[in-house]
């Protein structure tokens, strides 16, 4: 996952290191281009702990899969066996905290919390606690592109942060077909774009971080049957992890019984 968001890097050349400022907005013509639904096919699926309130998912260059779970008193950092989905090791957060998004920066896992304003840092090899960063506002999703951390807070904004200090370096407003797209949740940085779950939707969006435009969508309705959200409204799609070895995307949800590996392609033509 050591891939750089080149567009963010270029835009950030004029951003002060001491304060956040908005990055460029897309041109009106680009903003109104409809974001296409992208074709995908299933590669594999494995079991997933149906009690896990998944908030973050990430795969490292060695193929290890890590998960952040939420709910106060149940929040944890986990490593999962990708062959069968079982939890191979786990570390609990204090009962007062609600775990959220997860990113890997070199050998350190960074785990957000929902309303506590704390980003916990863990050694990826040992799960030893390394310290805290403080931040304002809510923490939802987090990803790392090899140069910057990108964070969501449930709004239509992505906040770009320094991976060494967690200081804000810029803010991107996300739009879908020219309109603000709120409820951005779990994030994954891949090859110059940011993928995001949209809370309470069976949809994942692909975002151009240079101007915030959604440039593609995945319709994942019906991916799990029966849909866990039919019985539990909060058991929604949430959890994105890019596998750099196979170039596939793993997805799951809060209290979902399975994780699914997908291969995504570009549309074959107009209207696809």
Contact 79, 89 (CB under 8 A): yes
Closest CA to 176 of 152, 204, 148: 204
> For the ranges 10-14, 47-51, 121-125, 146-150, which has the lowest average pLDDT?
10-14
Instruction: Output the pLDDT for position 34.
Output: 82
Segments making up each domain of the chain, as ranges: 6-26+53-68+96-243
Q: Looking at the domain that runs over 6-26+53-68+96-243, which CATH code has it been given? A: 2.40.128.630
Contact 142, 112 (CB under 8 A): yes
- Dihedral over Cα of 266, 267, 269, 270: its sign: negative
> What 3-state DSSP class applies to 7?
helix
Q: Tell me the average pLDDT across 189-196.
A: 95
Q: Which pair of tokens denotes residue 171?
A: 């803010």
The string of pLDDT tens digits covering residues 107-161 is 999 999 999 999 999 999 999 999 999 999 999 999 999 999 999 999 999 999 9
Instruction: Considering only residues 13 and 157, tell me which one the structure prediction assigns the higher pLDDT.
Output: 157
Distance CA 95, CA 26 (A): 42
Closest CA to 217 of 192, 181, 252, 244: 181
What mean pLDDT is reported for the chain?
Answer: 88
Per-residue confidence at 4, pLDDT binned at 50, 70, 90?
very low
Q: Tell me the average pLDDT across 182-191.
A: 96
Distance CA 55, CA 219 (A): 20
> What 3-state DSSP class applies to 228?
helix
Q: Tell me the average pLDDT across 170-174.
A: 96
Residue 17 has pLDDT above 60, yes or no: no
Instruction: Output the pLDDT for position 265.
Output: 87
Instruction: Output the pLDDT for position 31.
Output: 54
- What pTM was computed for the model? 0.86
Instruction: Output the pLDDT for position 30.
Output: 55
Helix (H) or strand (E) run with residue 29 in it: helix 28-31
Residue 49 has pLDDT above 50, yes or no: yes
The string of pLDDT tens digits covering residues 28-42 is 555 556 889 999 999
Instruction: Output the pLDDT for position 173.
Output: 97
């Amino acid at each position: 996952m050591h891939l750089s968001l080149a567009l963010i890097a270029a835009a950030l050349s004029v951003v002060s290191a001491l304060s956040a400022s908005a990055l460029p907005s897309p041109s009106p013509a680009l903003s109104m281009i409809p974001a296409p639904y992208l074709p995908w096919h299933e590669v594999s699926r494995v079991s997933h702990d149906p009690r896990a309130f998944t908030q973050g998912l990430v795969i490292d260059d060695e193929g290890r899969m890590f998960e952040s779970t939420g709910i106060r008193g149940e929040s944890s950092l986990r490593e999962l066996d990708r062959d069968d989905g079982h939890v191979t090791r786990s570390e609990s957060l204090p009962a007062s905290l609600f775990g959220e998004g997860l990113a890997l920066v070199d050998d350190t896992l960074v785990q957000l919390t929902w309303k506590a304003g704390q980003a916990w840092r863990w050694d990826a090899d040992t799960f030893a606690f390394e310290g805290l960063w403080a931040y304002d506002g809510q923490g939802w999703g987090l990803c790392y592109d090899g140069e910057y951390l990108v964070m969501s807070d449930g709004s239509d904004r992505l906040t770009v942060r320094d991976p060494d200090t967690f200081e804000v370096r810029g803010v991107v407003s996300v739009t879908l077909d020219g309109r603000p797209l709120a409820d951005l949740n779990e994030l994954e940085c891949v090859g110059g774009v940011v993928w995001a779950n949209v809370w309470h939707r069976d949809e994942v969006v692909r975002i151009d971080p240079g101007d915030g435009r959604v440039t593609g969508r995945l319709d994942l309705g019906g991916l799990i049957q029966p849909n866990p959200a039919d019985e539990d409204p909060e058991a929604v799609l949430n959890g994105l992890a890019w596998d750099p070895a196979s170039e596939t995307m793993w997805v799951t949800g809060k209290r979902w019984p399975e994780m699914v590996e997908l291969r995504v392609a570009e549309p074959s033509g107009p209207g696809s």
